[in-house]
A and B are shown apart, each in its own frame.
Chain A
Amino acid sequence: MEPTSSATDASTPPAPGRTVLCIEDEHFISELYGRALTKNGYVVTAIADGEVALKEAQTNKYDIILLDLMIPNLSGIEILRVLRDPARVPPLKAKIIITTNLEQREDVRADIEKRADGYLVKAELTPYQLVDFLNTVK
């Protein structure tokens, strides 16, 4: 994506007040994502610990959850399983977007994708591409 075009994209469709929970243990990444998202009208909370993040997600006050699969204390796959439990009342309102660098086996990836609302490979993603993507997530 051309940087100039993404900059114009970012300035036109803001997302005032949409809340994002960024579950990510790589500080540099949450910092970058946080900056780009905040600039575009998102409200971002970043948490690096699996257990803490799950508790926070359970409050059901987020519109979007960015979920890294490899995080300490509780794996992203486990968090996904709990949050997407069909017996959960009320159902989680957040859209869950997986962000990972793991190259999954196709069948594993397909399984994760089925339960999540998006799947992004971090190595192929710049912060403004993430913004563009989240702008399309309704």
Chain B
Amino acid sequence: MDRLDQLHSKVRIYLLVLVIIQTGIAVGVFYLLTSQTKLSAALCLLISLGLSTLVALVTVGLLTNLLLQPLKAIWQTIVHLSPEEHGVSTPTFNDLKLGRDLVTSLATQIYQLVNVSSQAEAEMKLVAGDLSHNFVAQNLPLPLIMLDETETIRFANQAAAQYIGITANDMIGKNAYMVLDMSFPSEKTFDVWLKEAKAKSATAVSSWERVRLNLRDDHPVRLFDLAAYYNRNNTEHNETMLVLFDHTKEYSQDDQAVSFMALSVHELRTPLTLLRGYIEVFEDELGKDIKDPELQGFMLKMHAMAEQLTAFVNNILNVARVDNDQLELKLESEDWSTTLKSSIEMLSLRAKVRDITLKCSIAQDLPAVAVDRLSIREVINNLIDNAIKYSGSSKVIEIKTYINREGLVETTIQDFGLGISTSILPNLFSKFYRDHRNRAQIGGTGLGLYLSKAIVTAHGGNLWVRSHEGEGSTFGFTLIPYDKMANNLKSKDSEITRGAHGWIKNHSLYRR
């Protein structure tokens, strides 16, 4: 207030001095004119008043400038601080003649205020970016994880921490791929999926995928729908929002069904082995003595049925292994024509008892392939079994193997039976999928093709189907020549171990 008072009294003095000077000029001029000239009093008054008005006009102009200087300086300061484009230079207060102290102190205060408010703004931004202070984000019952542009975890809420079993603080700053151990039903990996989600973000708000989240050791596997919401150029670095929707209950029903079946059929293995053993002994020792051709046929059929049942049991056990990621393949160099022939031989009995002929054509000079003999046998088993089942009245199944255009060993199994309608082809390799039209007539679990696909894929090959309804179906699969596979691995290991979901091991631990 001192400075304001100072300015106040200064202005008062200026105005007082102005009034006194003005009055002095008017009175002085009037006096001079009346005493020194012969002009009339009225004229003298007019001249003196006119002169003093002129002087007043000039001085008021000067004084106004002087008085408005502080106001102008303050205006300059404020405009200068505003964030918009203004073209106003930094104000200087040194040449102020009036109220310099007051203006300087006011400007300082303005600067301080602006500082404080921009700090507050920055803090607000920080809080918005750091969701850990956000009540809703923290307490949302859905696991919520924010990733920045390098896929580093920026935030994880309480639900996420609970599900994953790591505290939020332990997750933040870590790479998402290290923390979240997710399996996808497709052959995608988490990083590929995220990249695709980003690429798609221009057209889709979010990307969805069913995932299996492998939790810590003491937690069971849970099944989720994973949604990624991608937000490019986010100033707070919360680029991707991951939300997990727990559907373990719904999704695990399939898995539970398989586990239950696996548990039950496991008990069938020993009696079945024994049964096959006894049948074999009978056939071996009695076969020649049975003269009745019908009884001979019965013996063969009994054997064929026992083998079919064994194949069924193995299928279920193998599906359980695939689902639990426990199927391990030992890829060894095998002569494909020998392996294929011996597998077909095992199935010929089953074909024979149904009067079906297996026609086999094997190309010359096939290279050795990288296969796990037992598993690939399951594939041939399943495909030929299917061909037998769906042959209808047709009595021939053709099996061919050759080198295809990509240099892979391709094997096809063709039947001339019922065929598959185009509408169901896409689902053919899904677990438990069966052609509803044939469910009643033809037995099956809907696991054979699912398993075959998993096994062929794990071999690095591809299983395909071509079918015309009423004309039959051709199933084919490719296998990689051993040399090619070994070259790809740049490894001299004589044996390669794989899991059902791709490469898992390639080292010497399992070498015999």
Contacts and interface: CB of A to CB of B under 8 A. Distances in A.
A124 B281 CA distance: 16
Interface string B269-294: 11011101110110111010000000
B351 to A, nearest CB: 13
A127 interface: yes
Interface of B: 269-270, 272-274, 276-278, 280-281, 283-285, 287, 303, 328, 342, 345-346, 348-349, 374, 509-510, 512
A128 B280 contact: yes
A48 to B, nearest CB: 15
Given A3-B284, A7-B283, A126-B280, 10 more contacts: A3-B303, A5-B345, A32-B281, A36-B284, A39-B285, A106-B510, A110-B510, A113-B512, A127-B281, A128-B284
Given A26-B270, A101-B270, A125-B273, A107 B509 contact: yes
Contacts of B274: 28-29, 32
A28 B270 CA distance: 10
A23 interface: no
Nearest to B328: A106
A5 B280 CA distance: 11
Given A107-B509, A110-B510, A123 B273 contact: yes
14 contacts: A2-B346, A3-B287, A7-B283, A7-B284, A26-B270, A29-B277, A36-B280, A107-B509, A110-B509, A110-B510, A122-B270, A123-B270, A123-B272, A124-B374
A10 interface: yes
Contacts of A110: 509-510, 512
Interface of B is mostly: helix
Contacts of A125: 273
Contacts of A3: 280, 283-284, 287, 303
A128 B269 CA distance: 18
Interface residues of A, number: 26
B277 A126 contact: yes
A35 interface: yes
Given A32-B277, A127-B277, A2 B349 contact: yes
A111 to B, nearest CB: 11
Contacts of A124: 273, 374
A39 B283 CA distance: 14
B220 to A, nearest CB: 20
A123 B303 contact: no
Contacts of A29: 274, 277
Interface string A77-101: 0000000000000000000000001
Contacts of A36: 277, 280-281, 284
Contact of A35 (B272, B273, B281, B328): B281
A114 to B, nearest CB: 8
Nearest to A3: B283
Contacts of A5: 345
Interface string A114-134: 000000001111111000000
Contact of B273 (A1, A106, A113, A122): A122
A25 to B, nearest CB: 12
Contact of B284 (A10, A101, A107, A113): A10
